């Protein structure tokens, strides 16, 4: 029997594998890690990437953070705040060739300078000006998220590849800097 946990984020709730719970336990751990990651990035910049153990530690923190992000980016952001989340993503982006998942690096190599990306969103969030961090290269994935909202909106935008904070193969997810996406189309 598969161990599951029940999330109550929606009226009906949903079940997820136990590994999700384990990834999301103690998300507050990323607050003190933020200071350590800042220090690691500074030291790696100064050393010209000559300290392998620092690079390994940075990769370890990135893997931990990305694992929690994949389990639930919403919960990570809720636990440590948007600013801390963005700062960690930016710091990891500095050494993306070390910190990013291998699949994300492979995708990055083949991307044009400007990307067409998509997002399924709630109309109330669009109207209030709230910008989501997670977009996708796959219009079908964005359509799925659009349909999760009663009257969802499909956004299509363009972003410079330099504003991409990380790429995950899962759902062809592209996490971007706030304010970096130029929305070209919004459709119901």
In order, the DSSP letters of 150-172 are TT-EEEEEEEEGGGEEEEETGGG
**Is 188 in a helix, a strand, or coil?**
coil
Distance CA 150, CA 14 (A): 17
pLDDT tier at 14, thresholds 50, 70, 90? low
Query: At which of 74, 99, 124 does a domain end?
Result: 99
Helix runs in the chain, H state only:
18-24, 30-47, 52-80, 82-94, 96-99, 102-109, 123-128, 139-147
Establish how many alpha carbons lie within 13 A of residue 11's alpha carbon, considering only the half-sphere containing its beta carbon.
3
Q: Are residues 78 and 142 in the same domain?
A: no
Q: Which domain covers residue 10, as residue numbers?
A: 4-99
Q: Are residues 14 and 85 in the same domain?
A: yes
High-pLDDT (> 90) share of the chain, %: 62
Q: Are residues 62 and 129 in the same domain?
A: no
Q: Are residues 111 and 93 in the same domain?
A: no
Q: Environment class of residue 28 by beta-carbon count within 10 Å: exposed (0-12), middle (13-18) or buried (19+)?
A: exposed
Q: Are residues 108 and 89 in the same domain?
A: no
Query: At which of 99, 117, 139 does a domain end?
Result: 99
Contact 185, 156 (CB under 8 A): yes
The pTM for the full model equals 0.83
How would you list the strands of the sheet with 114-121, edge to edge?
Answer: 164-168, 173-176, 134-136, 114-121, 153-160, 182-187
Q: Are residues 93 and 124 in the same domain?
A: no
Q: Are residues 14 and 95 in the same domain?
A: yes
pLDDT tier at 107, thresholds 50, 70, 90? confident
Q: What is the pLDDT, as a whole number, of residue 9?
A: 44
Q: Are residues 30 and 47 in the same domain?
A: yes
Query: Per-residue pLDDT for 91 more than 80?
Result: yes
Q: Are residues 144 and 78 in the same domain?
A: no
Q: Are residues 93 and 107 in the same domain?
A: no
Distance CA 131, CA 125 (A): 8
The neighbouring-strand residues paired with 118 are 136, 156
Query: Per-residue pLDDT for 99 more than 50?
Result: yes
* Residue with more model confidence, 80 or 48: 80
Distance CA 84, CA 80 (A): 6
Q: Are residues 56 and 79 in the same domain?
A: yes
Domains held by the chain: number:
2
Q: Are residues 119 and 171 in the same domain?
A: yes
Distance CA 167, CA 138 (A): 12
State the pairing for strand pair 164-168/153-160: unpaired
């Amino acid at each position: 029997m598969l161990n599951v946990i029940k999330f109550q984020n929606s009226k009906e709730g949903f079940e997820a594998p136990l590994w999700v719970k384990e990834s999301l336990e103690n998300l507050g751990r990323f607050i003190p890690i933020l200071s350590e990651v800042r220090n690691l990035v500074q030291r790696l910049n100064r050393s010209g990437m000559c300290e392998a153990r620092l690079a390994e530690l940075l990769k370890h923190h990135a893997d931990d953070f990305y694992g929690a992000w994949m389990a639930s980016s919403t919960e990570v952001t809720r636990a440590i705040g948007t600013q801390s989340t963005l700062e960690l993503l930016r710091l990891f982006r500095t050494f993306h060739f070390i910190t990013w998942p291998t699949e994300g690096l492979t995708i990055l190599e083949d991307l044009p300078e400007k990307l067409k990306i998509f997002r399924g969103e709630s109309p109330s969030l669009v109207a209030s000006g709230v910008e989501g961090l997670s977009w996708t290269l796959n219009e079908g994935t964005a359509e799925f998220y659009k349909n999760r909202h009663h009257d969802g909106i499909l956004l299509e935008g363009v972003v410079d590849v330099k504003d991409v904070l990380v790429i995950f193969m899962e759902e062809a997810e592209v996490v971007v800097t706030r304010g970096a996406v130029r929305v070209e189309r919004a459709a119901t």
